[in-house]
Chain A
Amino acid sequence: MKADPVRRERLVEVFLTAPGFVWLLLFFLLPTFNVLLISFRPSTLTGGIGEGWTLDTLQQLRNPDYPGILFRTLWVSLAITVSCLLLSVPVAYFLARCSQRWKTRLLLLIMIPFLTNFIIRVFAWKVILHPEGWLASVLAFAGLIPPGTQLLYNVRAVILVSVYTYLPFALLPVYAVAEKFDFALMEAAMDLGCNRIQAFFRVFVPGISRGLWTATLLVLIPNLGAYVVPDIVGGHSSSMLGNVIVRRLFSDRNLPHAAGLSSVLTVLVLLPMIVVILHRRRREAH
């Protein structure tokens, strides 16, 4: 009657992972599947979900405007991600080389804005980018823009404000890896003939690649589904997929159509994750 130790270990494993698995199943997998199902239901003009099944939504998703919006969603999200990474690598390098005292202080400075509500931080940009605000005045004085130019409500404003709000999400994982990086490796590279810049790009950057991938996921994925920032500082020609989903839902009362677009978004979000997972697998296999 002695319990098989291997089987026992399995059982413990199942019990330990069960709560998380059930949670994901109930609150993530099933709702996502439900959204996918709704996109194959007919819509009613009164905002309900009709009986039976249809491919109407699939047909409607071939709307000639959608490729443009999809493309904008992709390139804006990528631009935000790349900008965040470009900013966080030098900052993380600097932070990692700081003395412990300064590290704490500077990290605190990065975290403090987080204590302010997200919406308020976004609204603050409306003051900074006001067409008669100080920034516009300085730019107009320098002759870069005509006076009274609207700096808000375009794609550039969306990218700028998104980079600002998502920078800590990129900086912290990059810093976490950079802090563990062995800087003696850079000295070794320089001993072997690299100059400082070469050492930075050929030793430091590959050394923190794990942090870069995490940062990419943390910034890219939420921005693919962004709604709030393009809604507040974006204009009439910078709506992203998230904004279109909201419009289909609220203004058109077309639930299946919104569900169809959401399913497209889900696929879009899964793709970068799959890429990163495959990349990690391949690296671990090496």
Chain B
Amino acid sequence: MKFRLLNLAAALMLILGFTACGSRKPVLRIYNWAEYLSDEVIEAFEKEFNCRVIVDVFDSNEAMYAKLKAGGGGYDIVVPSSYQVVRMAREGMLLELDHSQLPNLVHLDPIAVKFTQDPEHRYSVPYLITSAVIGYRADRMDTGPDSWAVFADASLRGRMTLLNDQRETLGAALKFLGFSLNTVNPEEINAARDLLIEWKANLAKFESEQFKNGLMSAEFLVVHGYSSDLLQAMEEDENISIALPKEGLSIALDDLVILADAPNPQLAHAFINFMHRPEVAAENMEWVMAMSPNLPAYALLDDAFKADERIFFSEEIFAKSETIFDLGENDQLYINAWNEVKTAP
């Protein structure tokens, strides 16, 4: 009896072992922002490279970094903003890229170099360019906002949100005050902090995930959010509009990087190269509603899409906008200011 049971167990294990082997395709794990990669592009990649793609999402560079730093993950590809790339590279978290596996880098639009601290693409390849803008319900407001000053409007009390993101949100206040969003002058940062504490009284909350849903259900009337998310919301709901604040905005370049301990670096290289095929880049741009710095892809886009200055920013907007950069030791100034904003009554 005992012998028979053992046999049965062995047979079961064999069967299980075989079936597991049979379905074992290579897996590519991506850690990305929410709704920041076209489903069709994922499917096409899975088909062509006979693999499975698993996507997990984060809602801020800081949260992503903390999770990876604590040993979480097993991811191959991560999509940090360019300022976070510097920090991750310095910490030895990133794999040096093998350019021989990335022939499509020739398609890169040189404009992308303006937004990165890694212009030689040693660790990172530009993915998409977005910005943090103001989204609002056009059906509930007589005139749309044109300035960050809208967050001082007490008549919208409890119906507005700012991003729950220390650099973006302090950056919006710094822009409004006419300072650089990379300032390391403590007085300027403190002025931004005090302004945010004033604005806070009018906010429902600091929110980086639900601003899109909240705007669509009219729970929030004015939100600070990422342009790609808000443009996606506009497609679904015609009552939603976007304003580019006149004081200027923060334009972010998000990069594709491979982690130093990626389980599948070869497939990860293939993925980065795939994303810069012009037709894939164009398809992904139209799905995410953000600009991929890929020159030949522009020709494949719809004219109306190309003319949209919320996606392809005009010279005028570029001139007054900035990109968040890594500030090394001086980050502590922002961390302290942000904590004071968050705990202020």
Contact present for B205 and A250 (CB under 8 Å): no
Contact present for A239 and B342 (CB under 8 Å): yes
Contact residues in A for B75 (Cβ distance below 8 Å): none
User: Residue-by-residue, is B39-68 near A (CB-CB < 8 Å gives 1, otherwise 0)?
Assistant: 000000000000000000000101101110
Contact present for A46 and B90 (CB under 8 Å): yes
Contact residues in B for A45 (Cβ distance below 8 Å): 329, 331-332
Contact residues in B for A254 (Cβ distance below 8 Å): 335
Q: A47-B69, A149-B158, A236-B203 are in contact. Are A251 and B166 (CB under 8 A)?
A: yes
Residue B176 interfacial (CB < 8 Å): no
Interface of chain A residues 142 through 158 with chain B (CB within 8 A): 148-150, 152-153
Q: A46-B90, A251-B60 are in contact. Are A68 and B159 (CB under 8 A)?
A: no
If over half of A's interface residues share one DSSP class (helix, strand or loop), that class is named, otherwise mixed; here it is loop
B340 to chain A, nearest CB (A): 8
Q: A45-B331, A46-B90, A252-B335 are in contact. Are A235 and B63 (CB under 8 A)?
A: no
Residue B338 interfacial (CB < 8 Å): yes
A235 to chain B, nearest CB (A): 5
Contact present for A130 and B206 (CB under 8 Å): no
Considering the chains assembled together, what is the distance between the CA atoms of A45 and B330 in angstroms?
10
B214: nearest residue on chain A (CB-CB)?
Answer: A126
Instruction: Give the interface size bracket for B toward A.
Output: 20 to 34
If over half of B's interface residues share one DSSP class (helix, strand or loop), that class is named, otherwise mixed; here it is helix
Contact residues in A for B158 (Cβ distance below 8 Å): 131, 149-150, 153
Residue A179 interfacial (CB < 8 Å): no
Considering the chains assembled together, what is the distance between the CA atoms of A244 and B340 in angstroms?
12
User: Residue-by-residue, is B312-345 near A (CB-CB < 8 Å gives 1, otherwise 0)?
Assistant: 0000000000000000010110010011001111
Residue A247 interfacial (CB < 8 Å): yes
B332: nearest residue on chain A (CB-CB)?
Answer: A45
Contact residues in B for A122 (Cβ distance below 8 Å): none
Considering the chains assembled together, what is the distance between the CA atoms of A250 and B69 in angstroms?
10
Interface of chain A residues 233 through 253 with chain B (CB within 8 A): 234-237, 239, 244, 247, 249-253
Residue A187 interfacial (CB < 8 Å): no
A172 to chain B, nearest CB (A): 32
B206: nearest residue on chain A (CB-CB)?
Answer: A236
Residue A222 interfacial (CB < 8 Å): no
Q: Report B's interface with A, CB cutoff 8 A.
A: 60, 62-63, 65-67, 69, 87, 90-91, 157-159, 166, 200, 203-206, 217-219, 329, 331-332, 335, 338-339, 342-345
A-B contact pairs, 5 of them (CB 8 A): A130-B217, A130-B219, A150-B157, A237-B200, A252-B62
* Closest CB pairs A-B (n = 3): A150-B158, A65-B343, A250-B63
